[in-house]
């Protein structure tokens, strides 16, 4: 039979929870107490004198540190449709978590709060500014402002035509084709306004104008190239559609038969016909020359001496025309310049036209320039032809030299050339003056002789006896203080010269009373 008095008393167990708050961080310290076995007093109660006292056992506290970013400089540019990735990193204990602290992430990108990985594929162009935070129980760190510019991934540019000159003639029943071309981004599409020849159509996507004309007439239209950046237009295009085919016939087929190495050569072959003919050749063109198939222009700069023979053809749907044999001789003779005409008239008149043709030999053709001095005002030298011409506007004497050069040897230079330009003024005249001058002893004098007509500047020259104390300057000023004894007469010979060498003479009588 169970004896309740001899049963073992229950063991008492308990927990005590202590909370410590340190600088705003919470540390949980749990102290466990192990209950002691006691003997039961009669009735099952613990005798106070035999109850044991619990002994606490504290646990350790982990070390904490606030986050600090160690990687916070993601790429600042991205492209719509192109994957983007950057790993933000921060130290700290416990391991920090990441978040958008402010601003806006580029659309299509996300931030992993646990790992700090910013990744995704941008969907919208633009500039996006934001801040990222890293935080744990010890604190928080935030990046500086980060701006990521997302580009559209495509450069946008306004269309510009690079091919817009279709054939201007067509024939009923004969296929016609021309490829319009235009640059631009995005790739432009094509359209037209006006009237296309019946039977032709323009491809909106490729710009190909093609078909077979069905109706004669003259048709004008404009073609456009458009994209999101804008629209470009051709000029007005006119295509004449005829009902008959006309075989080519040359109307210009006699090019120069001589050429020089290093000197530009050009000749335009021409032929009638319907449709408009194209050109070709057989034989050997001088090296450095080429024949345009569409225009018939033979042009270039010969590079090799020799004699070259060839034939030129004009072709269309109705047939082919040929020139006779063409022979061009290319020489290498380069000749230094040498003047053959260099003595222009040495006199000219203000207001009267003047012209002189300087001439010089040399190969290539020399160019002319002023080597020294100055030309009379109103005259000019043509650098290509060597013509000195114009209407003098200023009187005087002008000395200069002319140079001719062509890159071969030393330039040719004329001797010194002087052209005297006469004015159109009236005769030189000395204005009336006192006769005699009556000047007393000790009297001051300041008298300017005046001149009219002739060509300025003027010079005054005197001879004879001036009263003591007086002077006569080259500009015609009589001045000073008369100190000659009274009762005398003085006679001075005065001559005035102008710029053309004209002169006037007079006698000056000075009386001292």
Mind listing the pLDDT tens digit of every residue in the chain (513 residues)? 434 333 334 433 333 333 333 333 333 333 334 444 444 444 444 444 444 555 555 555 679 999 999 999 999 999 888 899 999 999 999 999 999 999 999 999 999 999 999 999 998 889 999 999 999 999 999 999 999 999 877 678 999 999 999 999 998 888 999 999 999 999 999 999 999 999 999 999 999 999 999 999 999 999 999 998 899 999 999 999 987 788 999 999 999 998 988 889 999 999 999 888 999 999 999 999 999 999 999 999 999 999 999 999 999 988 999 999 999 999 887 889 999 999 999 999 888 899 999 999 988 889 999 999 999 999 999 999 999 999 998 889 999 999 999 988 899 999 999 999 987 656 788 989 999 999 999 999 999 999 988 778 899 999 988 999 999 999 999 999 999 999 999 999 999 998 878 889 999 999 999
- For residue 199, whether the previous peptide bond is cis, meaning omega lies within 30 degrees of 0, is no
Domains of the chain: 4-50 (no CATH), 65-151 (2.60.40.10), 157-242 (2.60.40.10), 253-331 (2.60.40.10), 335-422 (2.60.40.10), 429-512 (2.60.40.10)
Instruction: In whole angstroms, give the CA distance from residue 406 to residue 363.
Output: 7
SS3 63: coil
Query: Do the Cβ atoms of 316 and 245 come closer than 8 Å?
Result: yes
Query: Do the Cβ atoms of 143 and 100 come closer than 8 Å?
Result: no
SS3 505: strand
pLDDT of residue 41: 44
Question: What single-letter DSSP state applies at residue 168?
Answer: S
Strands (E), 269-334: 270-274, 278-283, 289-291, 297-300, 306-316, 319-322, 326-331
pLDDT of residue 224: 98
pLDDT of residue 423: 73
Question: What single-letter DSSP state applies at residue 48?
Answer: G
CA dihedral 14, 20, 26, 28 (to 10 degrees): -20
pLDDT of residue 171: 87
270-274 and 387-390: which strand pairing?
A: unpaired
Query: Do the Cβ atoms of 114 and 99 come closer than 8 Å?
Result: no
Instruction: In whole angstroms, give the CA distance from residue 196 to residue 209.
Output: 9
Query: Do the Cβ atoms of 126 and 150 come closer than 8 Å?
Result: yes
Query: Do the Cβ atoms of 101 and 140 come closer than 8 Å?
Result: no
């Amino acid at each position: 039979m169970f004896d309740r008095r001899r049963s073992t008393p229950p063991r008492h167990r308990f927990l005590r929870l202590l909370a410590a708050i340190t600088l705003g961080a919470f540390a949980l310290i749990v102290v466990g107490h192990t209950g002691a076995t006691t003997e039961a007093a009669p009735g099952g109660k613990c005798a106070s004198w035999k109850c044991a006292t619990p002994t606490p056992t504290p646990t350790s506290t982990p070390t904490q540190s606030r986050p600090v970013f160690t990687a916070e400089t993601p790429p600042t540019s991205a492209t719509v449709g192109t994957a983007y990735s950057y790993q933000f990193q921060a130290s700290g204990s416990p391991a920090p978590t990441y978040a958008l602290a402010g601003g806006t992430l580029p659309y299509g990108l996300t931030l992993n709060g646990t790992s700090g990985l910013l990744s995704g594929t941008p969907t919208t162009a633009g500039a996006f500014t934001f801040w990222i935070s890293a935080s744990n129980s010890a604190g928080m760190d935030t990046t500086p402002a980060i701006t990521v510019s997302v580009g559209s991934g495509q450069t946008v540019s306004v269309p510009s035509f690079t091919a817009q000159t279709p054939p201007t003639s067509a024939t009923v029943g004969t296929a016609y084709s021309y490829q319009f071309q235009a640059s631009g981004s995005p790739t432009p599409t094509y359209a037209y306004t006006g009237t296309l020849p019946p039977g032709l159509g323009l491809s909106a996507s490729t710009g190909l104008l093609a078909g077979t004309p069905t109706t004669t007439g003259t048709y004008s239209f404009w073609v456009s190239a458009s994209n999101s950046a804008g629209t470009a237009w051709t000029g007005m295009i006119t295509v004449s559609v005829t009902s008959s085919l006309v075989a080519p016939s040359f109307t210009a087929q006699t090019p120069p038969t001589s050429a020089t190495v290093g000197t530009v050569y050009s000749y335009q072959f021409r032929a009638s016909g319907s449709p408009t003919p194209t050109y070709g050749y057989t034989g050997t063109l001088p090296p450095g020359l080429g024949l345009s198939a569409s225009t018939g222009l033979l042009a270039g700069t010969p590079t090799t001496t020799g004699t070259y023979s060839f034939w030129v053809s004009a072709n269309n749907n109705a047939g082919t025309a040929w020139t006779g044999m063409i022979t061009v001789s290319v020489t290498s003779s380069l000749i230094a310049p040498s003047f053959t005409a260099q003595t222009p008239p040495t006199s000219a008149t203000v207001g009267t036209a003047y012209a002189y043709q300087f001439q010089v030999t040399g190969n290539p053709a020399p160019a002319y320039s002023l080597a020294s001095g100055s030309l009379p005002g109103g005259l000019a030298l043509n650098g290509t032809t060597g013509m000195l011409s114009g209407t003098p506007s200023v009187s005087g004497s002008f000395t200069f030299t002319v140079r001719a050069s062509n890159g071969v040897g030393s330039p040719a230079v004329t001797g010194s050339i002087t052209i005297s330009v006469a004015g159109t003024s009236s005769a030189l005249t000395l204005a009336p003056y006192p006769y005699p001058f009556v000047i007393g002893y000790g009297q001051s004098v300041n008298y300017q002789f005046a001149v009219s007509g002739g060509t300025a500047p003027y010079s005054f020259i005197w001879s004879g006896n001036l009263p003591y104390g007086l002077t006569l300057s080259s500009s015609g000023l009589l001045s000073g203080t008369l100190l000659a004894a009274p009762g005398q007469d003085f006679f001075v010979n005065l001559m005035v010269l102008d710029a053309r060498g004209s002169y006037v003479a007079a006698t000056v009588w000075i009386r001292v009373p």
